Chain A
Amino acid sequence: MAPKFYHDDPVWADIDPLPQDDGGLHPLAAINYTDEYSEAMGYLRAVMANNEFSKRILELTEHVISLNPAHYTVWLYRAKTLFEINAPLRDEIEWLNPTALKHLKNYQIWHHRQTVIEALGSPDGEADFIDSMLEHDSKNYHVWSYRQWLVKRFDLFEGKGELEWTEQMVEQDLRNNSAWNHRWFLVIGGRDGRALDEETFKREMDFAKRLVRKAPQNQSSWNYLRGLARHANSTSALKDFALEFADLSRPDEIHSSHALDLLADILATEEDQKEEARQALDLLATRYDPIRAYYWNYRKGLLEQPGAVA
């Protein structure tokens, strides 16, 4: 795109650009801009000093954002302008969509979007937008945080397809920890401590077990499964499930270090099973997760302490 300048644009003839004030001349601080950015910033400083809110501010801020989207001051001034002049907020969202796709790791853009959607009072269209973002980076932290905000703000916990969508995301990539976290948020985390009913608990356990079986060496699904069990105080009930992947009588055929870890935890709480627990931890330290040998050996040490439970 050709650079845009303001000095010869009649729309901006009334503005004297304000030069950068970098507090005097320090070699360490001197900031050298390209001419285009430097001029646009000069006009922006000038209109901000005048507290001007008008349609052309939207054009100017759009230009500066396209050059440097991480400049948080510009976003804040743009938001203020939108509300001052009652700009059509749907248009703002239309503009934000491709802009967000260009700058996947930018914080400001999400904050701005949240402000605009809050003012619109409706999540319509946001699910499609999020899908297009996740196509580029399915674990983008900003996107998932924003999704949580939408769920909470517009009460999308039940009956709005959110659970089904999460299932789809997890099935697409079993190792997408962000999707698992979102599931937890829907079922337990976002509900302000509301108790889990038996039916939901069973549904979620079955869900997690099914996906663990698909990829037994996946941290995310095991974390979810163990989190659920702990939440319902029923970790020991997972013993048979752990044995499916880690049978101590066949130490050459362990299919999951996470199953061994869980098994060791359960065995440590049982009478007369300390030796088996030690065996599981040994297998982890020497064969199935040796990079964490120090940790597994620490866990073994805990077994010696009477009454200690890992």
Chain B
Amino acid sequence: MPAEMRLFVDKHVRYIQSLDTREDELEYWLTEHLRLSGLYWGLTALHLLRHPHALPRQEILEFVISCLHENGGFGAAPGHDAHMLYTVSAVQILATLDAFDELEERLPGVRQKIGHYMANLQDPQTGTFLGDEWGEHDTRFLYGALNALSLMGFLHLVNVDKAVDYIQSCANFDGGYGTGPGAESHSGQVFTCVGALTIAGRLDLVNQEKLGAWLSERQLKNGGLNGRPEKKEDVCYSWWVMSSLAMLKKLHWIDGEKLTAFILKCQDPELGGLADRPGDMVDVFHTVFGIAGLSLLQYPGLAEVDPV
């Protein structure tokens, strides 16, 4: 195998470890608003690379707790308002670290509180979920809520049927899904909708042939995947598109070899990390979704990822 066609596991591990030592860089504080999600992405990438202990567990846990609010929600970083997205990231980190019991011991009643924080963000009229008390809504929040609540065993706190109805109202004429009813089909939103329906056990509602065809059409001649028709390829869609195809059991509808080669070309062979496309700047977001894509493609040596 030519050298550039290999995954540089050690370099990626070191890249992720270095992320939190870059406090003197401008970019670091500019990304503060998604710090908790960044931590989740880094941690997940390390698990997939089979280096789950490369970040210090106790420090992660302390940081997560420092983002917790009285109302049971988490902010992106200490001092930021609670928001659905970061609450989901926090729950995902806690699940990854298997730390729910530890958390409950330190803060009795906190699990219920977190569960209720998310459940209360369901809009009783439409069934979808708001991002925060201010009312932005997006199918990302709906998926996030169902994902996190199911990880905590709290799905019964919400009206799953109503949420399912809402997702159905987001289905588009081309077979895809958008952020809300009528919004353009987008691979990321397809993932959130198919993921939510998988959690709800209602994949039967999806026009699987049509959606599978739309998803496979995302592959371009260079092997990469795009997010919408007639747009450019980007490594992160290796995850959004592929995980959706995996849930529909149609992973084999795309050319896995060509996609693998495309993802590997997006690596920074010197300093580690993956970029959106070859030659661009790397970041933790594209790193985790590129590696997760490779895991779905059964790249040797990676841990297996759950598409949901």
B172 within 8 A of A: yes
- Would B174 and A227 count as touching, CB distance under 8 A? yes
Closest to B183 in A: A145
Is B89's CB within 8 Å of the partner chain A? no
- CB neighbours of A176 from chain B (8 A): 230
- Are B80's CB and A71's CB within 8 A? yes
Secondary structure of the A side of the interface?
helix
Task: Name the distance in Å between A223's Cβ and chain B's nearest Cβ.
Answer: 5
State whether B228 touches A22 (Cβ < 8 A).
Answer: no
Answer whether residue B202 sits at the interface, using C-beta atoms and an 8 A cutoff.
no
18 A-B contacts (beta carbon < 8 Å):
A23-B65, A27-B20, A27-B59, A28-B39, A28-B55, A28-B59, A31-B28, A31-B78, A34-B26, A68-B32, A73-B81, A76-B132, A79-B134, A145-B180, A148-B183, A177-B229, A294-B216, A295-B212
In the A-B complex, the 6 residue pairs with the smallest Cβ-Cβ separation, listed nearest first, are A23-B66, A227-B173, A32-B23, A175-B230, A181-B184, A219-B229
Chain B residues 50 to 98 lying within 8 A of chain A, measured CB to CB, are 55-56, 59-60, 62-63, 65-67, 75, 77-81, 83
B residues sitting closer than 8 Å to A (CB atoms) are 20, 23-24, 26, 28-30, 32-35, 39, 55-56, 59-60, 62-63, 65-67, 75, 77-81, 83, 132, 134-136, 172-174, 178-186, 209, 212-213, 216-217, 219-221, 223, 228-231, 252-255, 258
The closest CB in chain A to the CB of B181 belongs to A189
Q: Closest approach, in angstroms, between the C-beta of B186 and any C-beta of chain A? A: 7
A-B contacts besides A72-B81, A76-B132, 17 pairs, CB < 8 Å: A21-B79, A23-B67, A28-B55, A29-B78, A32-B29, A37-B29, A76-B81, A79-B134, A111-B134, A184-B172, A219-B217, A219-B229, A220-B230, A227-B173, A291-B254, A291-B258, A294-B216
CB distance from B26 to the nearest CB of A (A): 7
Question: Is B231 touching A139 in the complex (CB atoms < 8 A)?
Answer: yes
Q: Would B63 and A29 count as touching, CB distance under 8 A?
A: yes
The complex places the Cα of A188 from the Cα of B77 at a distance, in Å, of 43
Question: Which residue in B33, B183, B213 is a CB contact (below 8 Å) of A71?
Answer: B33
A256 interfacial contact with B, CB 8 Å? no
Judged by a CB distance under 8 angstroms, whether A218 is at the interface is: yes
| Residues of chain A in range 13-28 having any CB-CB distance to chain B below 8 Å | 20-24, 26-28
User: What does DSSP make chain B's interface, helix, strand, loop or mixed?
Assistant: loop
**Nearest B residue to A44, CB-CB:** B79
A219 and B230 within 8 A (CB): yes
- With A175-B230, A219-B217 as given contacts, are A293 and B255 in contact (CB-CB < 8 Å)? yes
What's the minimum C-beta distance from B92 to chain A, rounded to whole angstroms? 17
A230 within 8 A of B: yes
Q: Give Cα A125 to B231, complex, Å.
A: 29
CA distance A23 to B180 in the complex (A): 37
Smallest beta-carbon distance B32→chain A, Å: 6
**Complex contact B60–A28 (CB within 8 A):** yes
Contact present for A145 and B230 (CB under 8 Å)? no
Kindly list chain B residues whose C-beta atoms are within 8 Å of the C-beta of A298: 253
Q: How far is the CB of A244 from chain B (nearest CB, A)?
A: 21
Given A111-B134, A148-B183: A26 in contact with B24 (beta carbons within 8 A):
no
Query: Does A90 reach chain B (CB closer than 8 Å)?
Result: no
Q: A189, B172: Cβ atoms under 8 Å?
A: yes
Which residues 174-215 of A have a CB within 8 angstroms of B? 175-178, 181, 184-185, 188-190
A293 to B119, CA, bound (A): 44
The distance in angstroms between the C-alpha atoms of A111 and B135, with both chains bound, is 9
Contact with B along A112-149 (1 / 0, CB 8 A): 00000000000000000000000000010100110010
The answer to whether the Cβ of A310 comes within 8 Å of any Cβ in the partner chain is yes
What interface size band does chain A fall in? Answer: 35 or more
- Give every chain A residue within 8 A of B184 (Cβ-Cβ): 141, 144, 177-178, 181
A184-B175 Cα distance, complex, nearest whole Å: 13
Nearest CB of chain A from residue B280's CB, rounded to whole Å: 15
A231 engages B32 (CB within 8 Å): no
Distance of B148 from chain A, by nearest CB (Å):
19
Would you call A20 and B78 a contact (CB within 8 A)? yes
In the assembled complex, the CB of A286 is this many whole angstroms from the nearest CB of chain B, namely: 14
Partner of B78 from A21, A181, A219 at Cβ < 8 Å: A21
CA distance A32 to B21 in the complex (A): 10
Q: Which of A34, A175, A230 contacts B29 (CB 8 A)?
A: A34
- The answer for the CA separation of A33 and B78 in the assembled complex, in Å, is 14
Are B29 and A72 in contact (CB-based, < 8 A)? no
List the A side residues contacting B180 at CB < 8 Å: 145
Are A218 and B78 neighbours in the complex by a CB distance under 8 Å?
Answer: no
Whether the Cβ atoms of A107 and B62 lie closer than 8 Å is no
Name the A residues within 8 Å of B172 (CB-CB): 181, 184, 189
Q: Are B79 and A291 interface neighbours, CB within 8 A?
A: no
Q: B213 contacts which chain A residues (CB < 8 A)?
A: 295
Is the beta-carbon distance between B219 and A32 smaller than 8 angstroms? no
State A184–B182 Cα separation when bound (angstroms).
Answer: 8
Question: A153 on the interface (CB 8 Å rule)?
Answer: no
Q: How far is the CB of A45 from chain B (nearest CB, A)?
A: 7
- B209:A139 contact, CB within 8 angstroms: no
